[in-house]
Amino acid sequence: MQSMPYYQQQQGYQPQVSYPAQPQGPTVLNNPPILGHPSGLPPMQHPGIPDHSQQVMVVGAQQAPKRKQVKNACTNCQKACKKCDDARPCPRCIKYGIADTCVNSVRKERKKGIKRGPYKRRQKTGDEKTRKNAAVVNAPDQTGQPAQYAPMRAPALPFAYPSNLNQYNPHYDPYGQYSSYHKEQMMPQPYVVNPVYPPIGYPVIVPSAENNNQQGHQQQQQQQGHQQPQYQHSNYMMHQASPQQTHRPLMINQHNEHVMHQSPAGSPQIYYQQAQSHQHQHSQPSSQRNSPHLSEAVKSEPVPSASTSTNTTSSPDSGN
DNA sequence: AACTTCGGACAGTAAACAGC
DNA sequence: CTGTTTACTGTCCGAAGTTG
């Protein structure tokens, strides 16, 4: 039996925006709809993100709404292949108490220089001629390949990506030079999670709740019944030099066993970066499994997704 | 029951192409 | 130059498997 798509169900994701049948190009970028949380949380308002949640495009009323994807899932949701959110920490990470590792994943650069055959022109009234030509040109042969332009693709590019685009480069700065390539596509300014991203030296002094923008965000969440005593650490963790360099969360545990000391509200807190957090996941004692819902994000390094979708979800564990 | 894993459909979009 | 088309890449649904 085919279940109803989640976005058509009563209590599921209720899209607030309907999308036109034809893509509108970059307007999607210009006006990213901020959707409410599927979990029922209200949309989190980040500074710099205009609230478009009230915008409704009345187009294609009878069409089923398309599934809406976030532009950049966090590493945890990405690994788990689960729905993420524009907010950081995302609802899922909050739910599982891994908010401090909720950082944007890094997108790899798109391949360039791939040659293509001529396009088939889509049918338009009065465009018969073009379409016919395209049909002839691209008429597939027995093998299904276009007849005239057999090599549809150029061979694999002989060059490697520059190291500054290499997602596996440990010195890679996802929000620096790379983002300049993708401009707002790569990391649109409204989606930059932490606009105040100080060059960190250690120890890290985390400002008190009163003078931190994100604290308002967190307080908002706490008002919703999400008790996240370790929330202040989210700042700390998100200030890592590189998302590639995983650090075991120092404190998250359902039972607060490893929760770091909290200073009284209003006083700065000092956190010490782990010297070299190469506690490999396999050396992690089985106690890790005491928090099963932590394991998903914690046990695996935030390895960026592999090159193809077939590999994106293979966890490091399964790979070994 | 809650959580994890994962195949694959779907969505978004950058880049090549086509036409003016 | 601008619009169209397509391929690439990421997101995440949903089913199956795993764990406690």
Classify residue A42: in a domain, yes or no: yes
Determine the protein residue whose CA lies at the shortest distance from the C1' of B3. A293
Number of domains in chain A: 1
List residue ranges whose Cβ is under 7 angstroms from nucleic strand B: A 19, 23, 26, 28-29, 66-69, 71, 79-82, 96, 110, 112-119, 121, 130, 133, 182, 185, 292-296, 299-300, 309-310, 312-315, 317-318
Classify residue A7: in a domain, yes or no: yes
Classify residue A138: in a domain, yes or no: no
Residues A75, A90: Cα–Cα separation, whole Å: 10
* Spacing of A78 CA from C4 C1' in Å: 31
- Residue A50: predicted pLDDT: 35
Classify residue A270: in a domain, yes or no: no
List Cβ neighbours of A137 (8 Å cut-off, separation of 6 or more). Answer: A117, A118, A146, A147, A148, A149
pTM of the model: 0.43
Classify residue A39: in a domain, yes or no: yes
Classify residue A282: in a domain, yes or no: no
Statement: residue A235 has pLDDT above 80: no
Domain residues for A40?
A: 1-68
Taking residues A169-197, what's their average pLDDT? Answer: 37
Residues A164, A142: Cα–Cα separation, whole Å: 43
Statement: residue A98 has pLDDT above 80: yes
Residue A94: its H or E element: helix A91-95
* Spacing of A152 CA from B17 C1' in Å: 13
* Greatest mean pLDDT range, A88-92, A167-171, A207-211, A272-276: A88-92
Statement: residue A102 has pLDDT above 50: yes
Taking residues A277-297, what's their average pLDDT? Answer: 34
Classify residue A2: in a domain, yes or no: yes
* Spacing of A298 CA from B6 C1' in Å: 18
Classify residue A43: in a domain, yes or no: yes
Statement: residue A173 has pLDDT above 60: no
